[in-house]
A and B are shown apart, each in its own frame.
Chain A
Amino acid sequence: MIALHATLAEPQHFSAPEKTIFLALILASVALFFQRFGPVLKKILQSKKDPGFTLTPIGRRTWDFFSEVLCQSKVIRQRPLPGLAHAFVFWSFLAFALVTLNHCAVGFGIGFLHPKGQGISGLFSRFYFYLAAAFAITCAISITGLFIRRFFLRPKWFGKEVSYESGLIAFLIFALMVTYLAAFFITDASPYAHVLWWLHTLTLLAFLPVIPHTKHLHLVLSPVTVFLSRGKFSDIPPLVGDEDFGLVAGQDLTQIVSLQAYSCVECGRCTEHCPAANTGKALNPKEIILGVRAYLNEIGPATEEPLLGKHNSQEAVFQCTTCGACEFQCPVGIEHLPIIVGLRRGAVNTGAWENDYGSKLFNQLERGSNALGIGAVERDKFNQKESLPIFDGTQEYCLWLGCMGAYDPKGREIVSSFARVMNYLGTSYGVLKKEKCTGDPVRRLGNDLVFQQLAEANLETLAQNKVKKIVSICPHCVRTIQEDWKAYGTPPEIEHHSEFMARHIDKLPQAQDKEKIVFHDPCYLGRYRNVYDEPRQLVQISGTLVEAPRHRERSFCCGAGGGLAFLGEESGERVSHVRAKELIETGATTIGTACPFCNTMFRDALAASETPAPQLLDIAQLVARSLPVDNKA
């Protein structure tokens, strides 16, 4: 009869031939591992050094490592059930490190954990084996669950092909746990003790060489990837020297890009949340990363073969709205945006991208002042009509209009509402006599030439006018001014109007009518700037806040970002229509936005909607409608 014993069985006597075979197998397993891992490591190290890379701030890196790797925070938070299952497998691996080391030592007669021993050592050994057993049970259950999910539930973002390697890995992990736990049911003297020990050993030694051959390479690489990541969201690296035009060919792949490409675990979280992949476009962020990996495997770094071609398509790369849902979701530290924008830079900076809309936009911004291609005189007329004061250095804030705020009819309504709020609060502000596009669309489309021209011209204007603080209604302007302009100078302090209004919320009147308002998180305010609560506070004083199924960090893009607002008709379903439908279905009577681009996308989508469309208002308009008619506090 099988009985559970107080300790697990450890075979005591290994013959010399047994030890020799064991040693030979270890060497073979390790050799096979390096035979496969060596070329990968070589490709990463042969890639170009990352310009401007430093290990500082080490504190941030350590925290990311602790939170994302050791605590599995992202893995769990964004997919709780499978995430937790994964975390248990991971934690079991950590717990098993010591067990495995001892297991191998036992084979050579030098085991250091003695469960039957006396004193502290015996106590610790017994405790540790029980702890490992607890982990082994959760791990075995978890891996079974993950196996069922992968092979029977089959979420669509895993792709059409079934990964048999994943099945093999799951089986090996399960076998490791079972062979460990089974040893609790026999004694040292049992003839099965040796058999069990060998089964566990062989599973272990079979597992090792499989790692570098599959996506399970992430076991080895992703902790490093998370630690070495650029850290900031969508951090587009500077171009260095006269030969750097972005990601053109293999020689432009940097070590971090290559490391990230090999770290991909193919979980498909990026694809699950990608607005392009969800509306029938060619773009699939996972395939972009795997495309880079396939390129490295087949062609390798340090080559002149174009990156866009066999492994990644130009079409897909230019369908990205740069919403950053992929980068935000990635549990292994892959930074998709610098890679996608990098590939665009490579195509645009060398002239390889030919697109009528794109060329028109670039020419407009080379010659004119705004992305809409409207004469600057129209901006002057708007300023006069709205009696917006001109910034003269005496006011506290420079109100940055942006192309949408200065030229788009809806954007103008937002500016005029926000100006009312500022007047009501008695804040002094002024607008610049002239302003150029911040360069957001060209930055995201990869046109470094025009971006630099616009950034430098604007920085000069702001310096001439001695601007200290900027407030803007457009999250794209805010992001580009604050982060992207840093490559060419020191931009003044800037904030989004939601942050400004939320700071003064105590002085703002509450709405009487508590209608249902659904708030749509703009990508460039949420994921890019981490501002989620401020606009919600403003919605709450204007009505009753309703949340869409996908909100905050998981908000679904409106389709305008990444310069796509200017690129004409989309293929497949329209991103804006999908999102508008989701917002309408919340039953809210008003859709609240905080970005003029989201506003213009939804305006069109709502006009095309068959169901009666809710109102569409920016948070500034929501706040302004509760202000007294005379606008006096």
Chain B
Amino acid sequence: MKIIVAIKQVPDRDAPVRIDAAGKWIEESDLQFTMNEPDAYALEEALRLKEAHGGEVIVLSAGPERVGATIREALAKGADRAIHISAEDLGTRDALGVAKLLAEAVKSEFGPESPDLILTGLQSEDLGLGQTGVILAELLNLPHASLILHVEKTDSGLKVKRELEAGWFQEIELPTPAVLTIQSGGNKLRYATLMGIKKAKTKEMRVAAAEQLSSKTPPTAVLEKIALPSKQRSTQILPGTPKEAAAALVEKLKFEVRVL
């Protein structure tokens, strides 16, 4: 099985988020970056499929030079090789623009054929659009399914488990090649090892310039302004003895919040 995993590098959750001078993006200078969590789960799923059925896992990531660190982490965890789409202006491209870059990179790698499977996280932790993977499938003209927790290879293709709301799941079958967007939490993530990092140094990392992959088209959506969420404090202290407070709490959960 040839599996491509598209990975995004995002600001670390603990990083201090500040809006830049232009008010259109966050200040990147003092941020730390990490692998988008759902993408980490996509990588884990790909590695498990490879371990079970053989094949190759190729990491695909777009962004400036700093993305290399995240790519090396993926190689250290067991991916075989990587393609780095070098692009300094990723922030100004919309989901369609990014998906086009990814699609062209896949085509440049595989030509008219496509890999057996393309996995990516269902959304990014920074923008959370949840569209890139799905648009990528459309651009490559491949079937896709989203919110996947588990992938199983069958004789005819794939059987996947989707997460629905309220604890419901859906199992569907689809042929390969296909694109799946992976939900966090389906597997336990493996940890990166010293041996993995040392091996990663010798693995192939091909750099493809964004300009050579696809010409930049005007974005369909333009970011006007970003703002930090305003703080709203709605904590209520319920007075009285524990018994009275508990009764008041039940009352509120029943009739105000309606969760009971």
Contact = CB atoms under 8 A, between A and B. Distances in A.
Interface string B244-256: 0000000000000
A369 interface: yes
B197 interface: yes
Interface string A348-373: 11110000101110110011110000
B190 A359 contact: yes
Given A242-B198, A351-B196, A449-B197, A367 B191 contact: no
Contact of A449 (B35, B188, B193): B193
Nearest to A379: B14
Contact of A377 (B14, B73, B198): B14
B195 interface: yes
A391 interface: no
A64 interface: no
Interface residues of B, number: 17
Q: In terms of DSSP, what is the predominant structure of the interface of chain A?
A: helix
Given A242-B198, A351-B196, A367-B34, A362 B191 contact: yes
B189 to A, nearest CB: 5
Interface string B68-106: 000001000000000000000000000000000000000
B193 A351 contact: yes
Nearest to B15: A376
A366 B191 contact: yes
A447 B35 CA distance: 20
Given A348-B193, A349-B194, A368 B13 contact: yes
A448 B194 contact: yes
B192 A366 contact: yes
A358 B192 CA distance: 12
Contact of B193 (A242, A349, A356): A349
B14 A368 contact: yes
Given A368-B13, A368-B14, A375-B14, A245 B194 contact: yes
| Chain A CB within 10 A, most for which of B189, B193, B194, B197 | B194
A178 B192 CA distance: 64
Nearest to B197: A449
Interface string A31-74: 00000000000000000000000000000000000000000000
A359 B195 CA distance: 16
A119 B130 CA distance: 104
Contacts of B163: none
B12 interface: yes
Contacts, number: 54
Contacts of B197: 449
Contact of A447 (B188, B191, B198): B191
A359 B189 contact: yes
B188 A369 contact: no
A449 B12 contact: no
Contacts of A351: 190-191, 193, 195-196
Contacts of A369: 14
Nearest to B76: A449
A567 to B, nearest CB: 14
Nearest to A248: B195
A348 B192 CA distance: 9
- The number of chain A residues touching the other chain, given as a range, is 20 to 34
A362 B14 CA distance: 16
Interface in B4-27: 12-14
Contact of B195 (A349, A376, A377): A349
A375 to B, nearest CB: 6
Interface in B167-194: 188-194
Contacts of B192: 362, 366, 449-450
A450 B194 CA distance: 8
Contacts of B191: 348, 351, 358-359, 362-363, 366, 447, 450
A376 B197 CA distance: 27
Interface in A490-511: none
Contact of B12 (A350, A362, A367, A450): A367
Interface string B183-223: 00000111111111110000000000000000000000000
B220 to A, nearest CB: 33
A348 B189 CA distance: 14
B14 A376 contact: yes
| Chain B CB within 10 A, most for which of A351, A368, A434 | A351
A245 B35 CA distance: 25
| Chain A CB within 10 A, most for which of B12, B14, B35, B191 | B191
Interface string A589-621: 000000000000000000000000000000000
B194 A449 contact: yes
Contacts of A349: 193-195
| Chain B CB within 10 A, most for which of A359, A367, A369 | A367
A375 B12 CA distance: 10
B57 to A, nearest CB: 15
B59 to A, nearest CB: 17
B13 A375 contact: yes
A351 to B, nearest CB: 4
A362 B191 CA distance: 6
B78 to A, nearest CB: 9
A450 B73 CA distance: 12
A566 to B, nearest CB: 13
A375 B73 CA distance: 22
Given A367-B12, A377-B14, A245 B195 contact: yes
Nearest to B201: A242
Nearest to B77: A351
Contacts of A366: 73, 191-192
B123 to A, nearest CB: 17
Interface in A365-398: 366-369, 375-377
Nearest to A244: B194
Contacts of B194: 239, 245, 349-350, 447-449
A192 B161 CA distance: 93
Nearest to B37: A367
Nearest to A374: B14
Nearest to B35: A367
A360 B192 CA distance: 11
A375 B198 CA distance: 30
Nearest to A347: B193
A362 B196 CA distance: 14
Nearest to B190: A359
A363 B193 contact: no
Nearest to B12: A367
B201 to A, nearest CB: 8
A369 to B, nearest CB: 5
Nearest to B198: A242
A252 to B, nearest CB: 13
Contacts of B196: 351
B67 to A, nearest CB: 16
Contact of B189 (A239, A363, A448): A363
Nearest to A448: B194
Contacts of B14: 368-369, 375-377, 434
A351 B191 CA distance: 8
A368 B191 CA distance: 13
Nearest to A377: B14
A367 B188 contact: no
Nearest to B202: A242
A367 B125 CA distance: 13
A349 B195 CA distance: 6
Contact of B188 (A356, A368, A377, A448): A356
Given A239-B194, A348-B191, 8 more contacts: A245-B194, A349-B194, A351-B195, A351-B196, A362-B191, A366-B192, A377-B14, A449-B194
12 contacts: A245-B195, A348-B193, A349-B194, A351-B195, A359-B191, A360-B188, A363-B191, A367-B13, A368-B14, A434-B14, A447-B194, A449-B193
**9 closest Cβ contacts across the A-B interface?**
A362-B191, A376-B14, A349-B194, A449-B194, A351-B193, A350-B195, A448-B194, A359-B191, A367-B34
